[in-house]
Structure 1
Amino acid sequence: MDPVIVVGAGPTGLALSLHLARHSVPSVVLDATDGGTTRRAARTCVLRPDTAACLPRLTGLRWHSWRAERRRQLVERVDLDAETAPLHVEQHLLERALRTALEGEKLARVVPHSHVDVLEQDADGVTAHTRGDSGTWWRGSYAVGCDGARSTVRKLLGVRFPGHTAVERHAVAALRVQLPWEDEALLHRDPGGEPGEVTARPLPGGVWRLDWLLPPRGDLVTPEEMLERVQDTLSLWFGAASGNGAGTPGPYELVDTGVHTAHQRLARHWRVDRTFLAGDAAHLQGALGIQSVDEGLRDAANLAWKLALAWHHGHAAAAGALLDSYEAERRAAVGSRLRAVDQALPLVRRGGGLRALLPGGGARAHLGLLTDGHLGRGLLGAPAAYARTPLRPRRGTVSTVPVGTAPGAPVRDVPVTATDGTRGRLRDWLCGAGGELLVVLIAPGTGVWDSRHWLSAGMMPELAAAVDGLPLRATLLVAESYPGAAAHTVLVVRADGHLTAALPAARPAELALCARAVRGEPDAIDVGRRS
């Protein structure tokens, strides 16, 4: 069968190709650039812990805490741990790590200087043409446009991209400096004063990224204005740390500068026959601290295992429902986030009215909304929960029990043991490393025993046989505990880390129904459900 054609070699396209390789699906990445990466310390991304777990090891920094201040007064301090601390990384390092990982994958190929100008589809696949000296035709089973905001693939498909332009704009500077806070990100807000609204987020090597809020539309920021912003802000912070008002900043090195403009757009469709859109080609966001790169990587994780099932098994009816679920889940999730930003923007930026959105209102609520966006939690930032996903068993066919994770939500990262004795964290087996499905048995006490002693005990033989007989590639894991789960609970987890169901025990027939629903088989799912 032909490979999947991935158009675009940004983080989303490269991650998608890597995930496909982990699912044993070949892909070719058509890269319009020369394949190099340009270092820009002022161009960074913040990744949620579960997003970062699906990527190669990255050189970044996890913050120990987050401070929210108003007029130099601490309003909120959020302590972060391994489950909640985001990873801050320079984007060129993310792209380089993904390219390096793909070099070791036999099923992945990145082709530079490959600008797509023609895309044709038929019942069996997709054909793409890349321009050059003589031009090249590529044949694929499916195609995914990950080619950014000005996506050629989206335009060739005739998909509209409505939304808002320049809803937020920031001046950005990367500094090598020793600030009064170590490994602690800061949001400082002084409405009507100076420096206005600014965030400071640390990177490795003593580098900090500072972002100052600008009017959505305005003049260019000159080098002199940027230096003035840097010096005024550092003077304020050093003075506050010493208790003397405005202080004298210590030595610093200006590493990089830029201006970041956030737009809000959402493609009308994310799937047209055998071609899909992902990342900035499908959506633009970034206001109020929301991280667009993280959302694009979530698109890749959601789509990869679905393409893999369709590629390996190819049952037409099941593949149709399965692949449709990508748009149903991800477009609905991103659309909900964009609507939340639309509601919050006038409240946060112009004040007032927050009681309709958050209890309490006032300055603390303004900062709380901004904190949610930056930390990936709450109304603006929490990972999507596909509560109404179509890939759930038909009502009344499966007995479930409540656990600390709602169906459709991302699972918590807990210590687990595989049947071969390998120990790790649950996230170590996601994004293809464990197949298209994970089955996790909650069995207190197993952590102190060698796996060979409990593999043949209790319900394990029956459960292991049931997992081996599932109609997709699945991995059985054992955890001593899981939040809210009783002993002998069985968690059915998709490859992208979202919970399908929590079963009260090893029930082979019901487990098989869950697997068939995840495959999108029409007689196993509630066809009318939408996310």
Structure 2
Amino acid sequence: MIAHSAPPPSAPVLVVGAGPVGLTLALALACQGVHAVVLDEGQGGAEPRPARTVVLHPDTAALITRVTGGGLDRLGLRWSGWRALRGRRTAFEATFGTAPGTVADGAPLHLPQHALTGALRAAAVREPLVTLVPESRLDALEQDASQVRARARSAHGTWWEGSHLVGCDGARSTVRKLLDIRFPGRTAVERHAVATLRVDLPLPGTGILHRTPPWRSSAPFAGEVVGRPLPDGAWRLDWLMPPPRDPAADLVTPDVLVALVRETLAGWDDADLPPPYELLDTGVHTVHHRLARRWRRGRAFLAGDAAHLLGSLGGQGLEEGLRDAENLAWKLAFVRRGEAPEALLDTYQAERRAAVSARLRAADQALPILRGGGLRSYVPGTARAQDALLVDGHLGRGALGGPGRYGSSPLLPTPTDADVVVDTAPGELVRDVRVTAEDGSATGLWERLGRGTLSVVLVAPGTGVWERRHWAGAGIMPALAEAVRTLPAPAELLVTETYPGAPAHTVLLVRPDGRLVTALSGVRPQQLRAAAEAATGVNLTVPGPSTPEPETERAGAR
């Protein structure tokens, strides 16, 4: 171990790995004034692979939009709807948008992963607080109570020093191995044959799940088929494969994939021959379920695939990695600026590992029901329940696909008589309502997140009608503004016309990652201050970085 004095405030956070999670973390830190050095073992580019795609749901799409400065919609396709079919019968249908009767939580955005990585990398190149270091593979790591040092294998064997280090270096994480952290779980939970092609199919823009395709004939691929539309008339098709019996016999050869494509396209159109198509890319996607025993050791952390692997039943494991980055970035920023104690960093594992573990458990519980067959398929109502489970996974809802709730977080304040029950529970992601800032600018609430401040949102009907000068100094606004100015952490005062389930004069305290801390009735300076202290870990008794952490429960998927 090295022994040096504490690093200066300008010491960067070292991010190992330049994939979507690592780049998002670096940019999220930069949005809060923190310098990040990204060690990239590659040469600074992303290999185009059309068969590797990403589905971003509203919260993760908003995060990427914030850190890149916008333009995300140009790279992907927002689905206009989703349909689940059994045979020729429609079992579930949703339309995305704002019209009456449509799904209110927004349309998923589907894009190639290399396009996402490229947009993040371009934003990182433009950002002065992000330093990209290509051809730098980590091979040594040292740390003490004040700093961390990482040696990158390069022509000069460079040592980098920083305040903290985050391993975003994938499933085979070097950081995790150097920290000697176990990674238990299950291998090959599911396998999917994948093809991306350009073709003219019915219902363009609508994602389709065929639970029991009526054209099933290509044994052993008799399971479900998912079609996800992409930009420029492209589609990604996934075929569920059975568990491997003989790896040699179950090998997915190019001839097998072409046969699957032709059969599926013909069946989709209910025709004898498939429509004309252009095959862009193929592959096999194998889903693993693993969960690192610890996500922190001293000043080093794990995020993304280095900390967890998941993704069955329509889930997208990358999204959980992006949520890791958002959760950790604001906590690192607050601690480095001296606005929160070191113990705040321990809540990263407490919140994120619990959320991912719950999602893994939900998938493990659902898999036998969805894939087991047998008597379950004859129980009344079971088919509808199965469809609902799968739809939740694909559309980013519920236990299988939603952003999760930090309901047992150590950062939640003690309930008081001043609390108000709204449609968002403490620890959940707030709704993206329209808000007005003190300078009079109006945006969505999610657009104000990630700036290194807490958000205090006043529900005040009528403020959207009158000019700011008419209400800024009226009613309870002056008292609330004074309460916000005296909080122990930086906070921004916002006003909204309405919030779901909240009566007039409700005050919401929101974390930089969009999680609700509390909802209070009116201006309650004492309770608001106590909630802000709880949210930033002022009174935490969690062990610090030099204290050995106990081994936590076994992985949610074993």
Shorter chain as denominator, the TM-score bin is over 0.9
Contact 1:443 1:481 in 2 (8 A): yes
Corresponding residue SS for 1:335: helix
Instruction: Assess if the C-alpha contact under 8 Å between 2:358 and 2:399 holds in 1.
Output: no
CA drift of 1:354 comes to 6.0
Q: Percent identity?
A: 57
Does 2:142 correspond to 1:120? Answer: yes
For residue 36 of structure 1, what is the amino acid of its counterpart? G
Does residue 257 of the first structure (1) align with residue 282 of the second (2)? yes
Query: In the alignment, which of 491, 496, 501 is matched to residue 484 of structure 1?
Result: 501
Cα distance, 1:248 vs structure 2: 3.2
Deviation at 1:106, TM superposition (A): 1.3
- Shift in Å, 1:472: 2.1
Q: Displacement of 1:376 after TM fit?
A: 0.9
Indicate conservation of the 8 Å contact 1:237/1:247, yes or no: no
- Specify the code of the residue in structure 2 equivalent to 1:429: R
Are residues 442 and 395 of structure 1, via their aligned partners in 2, closer, same or farther at CA, if it must alter by over 3 Å? closer
Is the counterpart of residue 269 in structure 1 residue 294 in structure 2?
yes
**What amino acid maps onto 1:216 in structure 2?**
P
Which string of whole-angstrom CA distances, capped at 9 and with x for unpartnered residues, describes residues 14-65 of structure 1? 0000000011111101111111111111100111101110113311111111
Number of matched pairs: 513
Match status 1:235 vs 2:252: no
Residue aligned with 2:181, SS? coil
Matched, 1:374 2:394: yes
Residue number among 84, 88, 108 corresponding to 1:72 in the alignment = 88
Q: 2:49 aligns with which of 24, 40, 63?
A: 40
Contact 2:195–2:281 under 8 Å retained in 1: yes
Give the whole-Å Cα distance in 2 for the aligned partners of 1:352 and 1:107: 57
State the one-letter code of the partner of 2:427. G
Q: CA deviation at 1:519?
A: 1.2
Contact 1:47/1:86 (<8 A) preserved: yes
- TM-superposed deviation, 1:360: 5.8
Instruction: Find the partner of 2:373 among 323, 334, 351.
Output: 351
Q: 1:125 deviation in Å?
A: 1.1
**2:318 is the alignment partner of 1:309:** no
Q: Secondary structure at the match of 1:54?
A: helix
The C-alpha deviation readout for 1:221-260, integer Å capped at 9, x for no partner, is 1111111101100111101xxxxxx443321111111111
1:511 aligns with one of 520, 528, 532: 528
Query: TM-score, structure 1 length as denominator?
Result: 0.93
Aligned mate of 1:149, from 159, 171, 174 = 171
User: In the TM superposition, what whole-angstrom CA distance separates every residue of 1:70-107 from its partner, at most 9, and x where no partner exists?
Assistant: 12221111222362321111111111111111122111
CA–CA distance in 2 between the matches of 1:354 and 1:482? 41
Q: Hey, what's the Cα distance between the residues in 2 that align with 1:150 and 1:523?
A: 33
Answer yes or no: is the 8 Å Cα contact 1:319–1:519 preserved in 2.
no
Shift of 1:361: 4.0
Amino acid of the structure 2 residue aligned with 1:38: E
User: Which residue matches 1:243?
Assistant: none
Residue of structure 2 in register with 1:416 after alignment = 435
**Gap change, CA 1:524 and 1:447, over 3 Å in 2:** farther
Equivalent position to 2:243, from 216, 222, 227: 216
**Contact persistence 2:213–2:225 (CA under 8 A):** no
* Deviation of the 1:473 alpha carbon: 2.3
Q: 1:193-204 maps to which residues of 2 (within 5 A)? A: 193-194=216-217, 196-204=223-231
Which structure 1 residue ranges, 4+ long, deviate > 4 Å from structure 2?
Answer: 352-355
Aligned CA-pair RMSD: 2.0
C-alpha displacement of 1:465:
2.1
Residue in structure 1 matched with residue 211 of structure 2 by the alignment? 189
Pairing 1:390–2:407 present: no
Whether contact under 8 Å (1:372, 1:381) holds in the other structure is: yes
Contact 1:353 1:361 in 2 (8 A): no
Counterpart of 1:417 in 2: which secondary structure?
Answer: strand
State the alpha-carbon separation in 2 of the partners of residues 431 and 249 from structure 1: 48
Q: TM-score, normalised by structure 2?
A: 0.89
Deviations 1:417-459 (A, max 9, x none): 1111111111111122xx3311111000100112122111111
CA shift, 1:382, in A, is 1.8
Match of 1:27 among 25, 29, 36: 36
- Asked if the contact 1:403/1:483 (under 8 Å) is kept, the reply is yes
What is the alpha-carbon distance in structure 2 between the residues aligned to residue 361 and residue 159 of structure 1? 43
Aligned to 1:4: 13
Q: Distance in 2 between matches of 1:353 and 1:26?
A: 57
| Cα gap change, 1:111 to 1:366, in 2 (>3 Å) | same
Amino acid at match of 2:320: E
1:523 Cα deviation (Å)? 6.7
Between 373-382 and 110-119, report the one with greater CA deviation: 373-382
Alpha-carbon distance, 1:272 to partner: 0.7
Give the secondary structure class of the aligned counterpart of 2:313: helix
8 Å CA contact retained: 2:456, 2:509: yes
Amino acid at match of 1:161: F
For structure 2, which runs of at least 5 residues remain unmatched after alignment?
Answer: 1-8, 98-103, 545-551, 554-558
Task: Name the CA shift for 1:255/1:494 in 2 (closer, same or farther; >3 Å).
Answer: same
Tell me the residue number matched to 1:242: none
- How far apart in 2 are the matches of 1:95 and 1:28? 17
Maintained 8 Å contact 1:517/1:524 = no
Instruction: Give secondary structure in 1 for the equivalent of 2:227.
Output: strand
Q: Which secondary structure does the structure 2 equivalent of 1:313 belong to?
A: coil
